[in-house]
Structure 1
Amino acid sequence: MKALRLTMVAALAVLLFTQCEKDEMMEPETKSGTLPDVVPAKMYTVTVENVSVHYDYFAAGAEFGVTGGDATPPAHPGETITVHFHAGPSHKLSFASMYGASNDWFYAPNDDGIELFPGGSALEGDITGMTYLWDAGTEVDGSTTDEEESNPVGMVSTTEENIQVLLDYNGESMFTLTINVLPGSATPLSPVAWVVHSMDQHPIFMEGELDYGMGLEALAETGNAGPLGEYLSMHSGYVSPVAPVLWAVHEKGDMPIFTKNMVDRGKGLELLAETGNPGELADTLVNRGYNAGASAIPDGQDNIAPLFPGDTYTFSFNAKPNQYLSIASMLGKSNDNFFAFGDSGFKLAAGNNMRDITSKVMLWDAGTEVNEYPGAGIHQGPSEGSTENEVVQPLMDVNDGFWWPDASQVIKVTIHKNKN
């Protein structure tokens, strides 16, 4: 998770806000429009938390299918194992498959995996030279009695004549890994455990270290990829930072940020939804007389940054009961998706009790950039993707064919009115 955090910080705390310096980001927090002079204003406090699950890896599994021959594992000479997976520019691929004619040998890349977008372009072609033969160190080589040992994982050979490993890029973040067992191979090949992960991670093994005890031993000794694939899958999933939060206080009937099923107004929402930077939109709203601002520094931290799982933003503002609050915050690992209430905002109540208003929050699509595979898009983050001129609408209404989380799986929003 540490490597993922560092990667996200680099991508979404530095580049995310390249169009706005720190002082410019902070300035809207001190500005406010004029409140109607009807009743004394009250101070409300809102907390926004990233409640995403702490997944270590992006995607994983075990592939048992075999093409050719009797189509049952293991794969014999002339047969093939194929793995399909999604990945983005910040990802690597690791996999493992037993060298069948051994006690505990297995094929795999280096312990830190294979970079999938070296130099920014998708890796394709014959990657057999990036696949090596390893000794898991869990069973004595050559033993006929399954004699156990406890040695570090080590490389057996850097050259391979039994298999051919190919990688194809199918576009839209989809890769295909093909492992051919060559005719005349000295060994069959077991099912494959695989995982897509971040840079500087060693998800399956570490050279020179003992087996992690998470399933590699079963794969290397018996060819059963199930336990390792299941472990990696349980620790894999979509994780997204939450970008700084734009907020605005307004009256009933106002739609300060967007109007549902209408094209973006071009006043700063596009920048917020595509890069996470709320500065332009905050300035626009302040200049129009709204009590508005942006919260960009996580609680307990000193610098502008997105929220990672467990992090919170807290901000306060003056408003009167029966006024409305609108917010907007980018779903970091997306192209132009953002969190918000409805276009008319959320009605502020008079009570002092803490209220969980997460159920009022939805994921929206700004309609300014084409969606890509969640968490693995080529243009997600600070780079620019294919533009579109669609309406702002709930993400659930967008027929992009992708799975997106519910807002409550990523974000929690609470509010209370401070006592006088």
Structure 2
Amino acid sequence: MRILHTSDWHLGQHFIGKTRQAEHQALIAWLLEQVAAQEVDALLIAGDIFDTGTPPSYARELYSQLVVGLHEAGVALLLLGGNHDSVATLGESRDLLARLGAMVVPAADVADEQVRVLPQRDGTPGCVVCAIPFIRPRDVIHSQAGDSAEDKQASLQAAIQAHYHAVFAAAESRRSALATELGRSLPLIATGHLTTVGASASESVREIYVGALEAFPTSAFPPADYIALGHIHRPQRVGGLEHIRYSGSPIPLSFDEADQQKEMLLVDLDAAGLQAVTPLPVPRFQALASLTGNLDELQGAIAAAALDGNPENPVWLEVVVRTDDYLADLPARIESLTDGLPVEVLRIRRARGNAAASLVSEARETLDELTPNDVFARRLALEELSDELRSALTERFRSVLAGLEENAA
């Protein structure tokens, strides 16, 4: 049994005003070529097929193209809901897509309902799956009045662990029945869409259990042959374990992912369990880069980045400028560096100094202990400004504050 594990497609994402439609269209075409070339039996998407709960029509169309293409190729699809996905949006077409060999699990359900059997290309059962999507706290726990933050975190972690083990027990029962029927054992895998202890995230990954659960420990997973995870966009083993993997997103979803080699994972299993996990590198369908330096350094860096672009498909750039001076004409200067080159600057930022780090090392204070002027001064310290401009902004703030206090009185 060969499964292709992927996640976090985020169909419909707008990237600083840019649509990813062309990239996702190219990704689907590439994927359909790969499932044939690599003799894949099933595709597993571990959450966040869409970027929002109300995806644009072209994103839904891409989703349909993927399902139809896999059906025509004879490849099963198992799709799990993620924290970006709407349960209602995924659920509305679930029964229809089942006719095309696609199994969609929008939300956590009773244990028996989350056990799926993925077929091989010949239609025979290939593996049993604990098909667990993103677990919303309301699906597994009810908060109690007076619970502390620590109580809520412990309760949610225990509830998620209990849900995994309940589904695993149901899957073991299903596997045992199939073994009797087929005369052979099947591998058993699990899925998830959550943050695990030790996972390395990126700036485009949202916290999904705000104030309740920071990360799920790997020891809390059941002993499945393979655990296919989504939510973290950087491909990685979890805790160095070969059988617990994030596939990562197939395209960069933020500039801090620009240097990552995106991939999907070919997972080979047989009656004895996991045999191999092989990364399948995903081509870059849109060149993008984050460049940092002073203006002299950026001139060469931009010219080098431009080699990956062409007039029809320019390189998308984030430019982070290191300079001790406040340059009012910074956008114009950057524009002059890119003139005539096949690049498009989507974002310009000034590099922050060490002010933020120095603030952290100070004694911890609450807002009640600080005046508005103190808060403004701390925030201003994070910016690289001339003394003249810093003084002017401070005086302006004090003037506005005085006016507000006078009106309040």
Flag whether TM exceeds 0.5 (same fold). Answer: no
Higher fraction of helix: 2
More strand per residue: 1
Higher-RCO chain (CA-CA 8 Å, sequence separation at least 6): 1
- Normalised to the residue count of structure 1, the TM-score between the two structures is 0.25
